[in-house]
Amino acid sequence: MVQVTPHDTRDTGEGRPFVVLGVSAGIAAYKAVEICRRLVDAGVHVAPVLTERATRFVGRATFDALGSEPTQTSVFDEVSSIPHTRLGQRADVVVVAPATADLLARYAAGLADDLLTTTLVATAAPVIVCPAMHTEMWEHPAVRANLATLRDRGVTVVPPEDGRLAGGDVGSGRMAEPATIVEEVLALLARLPTAGAPDLAGRRVLVSAGGTRESIDPVRFITNRSSGKQGHAVAAAALRRGADVVLVTTSSRPRPVGAEVVEVETAAEMEDAVLSAAAAADVVVMAAAVADFRPKVVTDTKLHKADGIPELVLEATNDILAELGRRRRPGQVLVGFAAETDDVGVRARAKLVAKGVDLMVANDVSAPQVGFDHDTNAVTVFGADGTVSTVPLSAKGAVADAVLDRVVPLLDGGIPGGGSGRT
């Protein structure tokens, strides 16, 4: 499988997936900054290539700071090394985001009049294009014909979405969100022949994500701050590592490409979906923040302030993780998450025992940039055998892989903390 490690130094990219990130001249170019950051955080060596006109929308200095090597905009940037040849030969994947109508036309015609199109023509690596343009352009027959040509040549197209466009218009043509594009790139990297044997191939992984909502009336509900980012990151990481993934989620975040997704809202719905899917799972990762309490009575009509303050009586929800522990079959690996604000280690160890799980992933959500709704996390993983490992502040994708690194050796009857051999 693709071996990914948190990005730390500017190097040649040896031992890491090499992705050329092409940016053409469209307003959606600002989203390419997020794509670059997410790929680097996932351990990918990113070589940014901007067209000259793209630099009118985003500065090369931003990509210099976030990418794995200096940004290039011209075939004359590195004359001695022939940049398009170097990039085309080194690339494991080339992704163009945004891909404007002009870029798609030049690529389909085989034109090579700047560094980006020259690299596209010079590479044998898989190519992903992410179109972005106004609705009228997206629907033009010439654009559709160019995309059909590129698809026939094996190019992967991540289609645009409906939404707000430049100038305030609303319609189709809005570039796919960075998270969706990054997941497509990582999934493609994981499928490459050079990626090796995925360590979760043939395994079925069930992941829960997001915070549940418990209704008070048709308008109001009780919930928590969970965004579902960490659970979705675990699902995406398991997919990259070859697993068949079922994701039970309350989140509206983009769905990991290739996952079977079950959408739920309440703790009761989460319980039904998780317990139903758990029987066939080799690994269950309960990353969801399930409500501990719900209103005992839910009114059919909206409560009004003029009627006075209502008496809100709460009752406990069922403990899904504990029930999974009671029902687990031999060989199944069970992982829980504990979001705490105090006595993190004490509380996590207690939950580890009480729930009957193999691993408890704990984090202090009161710490800066940790936990709910952040793109980063810092966790401590407690094993049932007493082992403890820490993951310092990292992108949630890196945290997801670190957790799965602890899971893999348990699948064949190993002990927590045995190590998976990943770097």
What digits encode the pLDDT tens for the residues 126-169?
999 999 998 899 999 999 999 999 999 999 999 998 877 776 77
Domain that holds residue 39: 18-190
Q: What is the pLDDT of residues 303-344, one digit of tens each?
A: 998 888 888 899 999 999 999 999 999 999 999 999 889 999
Q: How many structural domains are present in the chain?
A: 2
Q: Does residue 26 contact residue 100 with C-beta atoms inside 8 Å?
A: yes
In terms of domains, do 315 and 358 share one?
Answer: yes
pLDDT in the model for residue 318:
95
Instruction: Give just the sign of the alpha carbon dihedral 90, 96, 102, 106.
Output: positive
Catalytic residue flag (residue 318): no
- Calculate what percentage of the chain has a pLDDT beyond 90: 63
Q: Select from 138, 172, 190 the last residue of a domain.
A: 190
Task: Please report whether residue 225 resides in a domain.
Answer: yes
Q: What is the pLDDT of residues 76-102, one digit of tens each?
A: 766 545 676 789 889 999 999 999 999
In terms of domains, do 35 and 61 share one?
Answer: yes
pLDDT in the model for residue 7:
35
What are 300's two structure tokens? 């059919």
In terms of domains, do 65 and 122 share one?
Answer: yes
pLDDT in the model for residue 8:
36
Q: Does residue 256 contact residue 287 with C-beta atoms inside 8 Å?
A: no
Task: Please report whether residue 295 resides in a domain.
Answer: yes
Dihedral pair phi/psi, residue 312, rounded to 5°: -100, 110
pLDDT in the model for residue 414:
54
Task: Please report whether residue 275 resides in a domain.
Answer: yes
Dist. CA 106–CA 70, nearest whole Å:
25
Q: What is the pLDDT of residues 10-33, one digit of tens each?
A: 344 555 789 999 999 999 999 999
Q: Would you state the torsion angle of the CA atoms of residues 171, 149, 75, 122, taken in this order, to the nearest 10 degrees?
A: 140
- Calculate what percentage of the chain has a pLDDT beyond 70: 91
pLDDT in the model for residue 372:
84
In the chain, DSSP finds a helix count (H) and a strand count (E) of: 13, 19
Give 363's strand partners: 339
Q: Does residue 250 contact residue 227 with C-beta atoms inside 8 Å?
A: no
Higher-pLDDT residue of 307, 116: 116
In terms of domains, do 369 and 222 share one?
Answer: yes
- Look up residue 249 and give its DSSP letter: E
Q: What is the CATH number of the domain that holds 134?
A: 3.40.50.1950
In terms of domains, do 219 and 84 share one?
Answer: no
Task: Please report whether residue 13 resides in a domain.
Answer: no
304-319 burial: b if 16+ Cβ within 10 Å, else e: eeeeeeeeeeeeebeb
In terms of domains, do 159 and 204 share one?
Answer: no
Task: Please report whether residue 311 resides in a domain.
Answer: yes
In terms of domains, do 141 and 211 share one?
Answer: no
In terms of domains, do 281 and 403 share one?
Answer: yes
Q: Would you state the torsion angle of the CA atoms of residues 327, 329, 332, 337, taken in this order, to the nearest 10 degrees?
A: 10
In terms of domains, do 65 and 141 share one?
Answer: yes
Task: Please report whether residue 36 resides in a domain.
Answer: yes
Dist. CA 411–CA 119, nearest whole Å:
43
CA distances for 276 relative to 301, 322, 327, angstroms = 32, 15, 11
Give 389's strand partners: 381
User: Is-above-0.75 flag for pTM?
Assistant: no
What are 267's two structure tokens? 């703790």
- Look up residue 211 and give its DSSP letter: B
Q: What is the mean pLDDT of residues 269-293?
A: 96
CA distances for 122 relative to 15, 47, 174, angstroms = 22, 15, 28
Task: Please report whether residue 144 resides in a domain.
Answer: yes
Q: Select from 190, 212, 245 the last residue of a domain.
A: 190
Q: Does residue 157 contact residue 126 with C-beta atoms inside 8 Å?
A: no
In terms of domains, do 112 and 253 share one?
Answer: no
Q: What is the largest CA-CA distance in the chain?
A: 79
Task: Please report whether residue 394 resides in a domain.
Answer: yes
- Strands (DSSP E) found in 218-267: 221-222, 244-249, 260-263
In terms of domains, do 224 and 339 share one?
Answer: yes
What's the whole-number average pLDDT of the chain? 87
Catalytic option among 224, 318, 363, 377 = 224
Q: Select from 140, 158, 190 the last residue of a domain.
A: 190
At residue 415, does pLDDT exceed 70?
no
Dist. CA 200–CA 384, nearest whole Å:
21
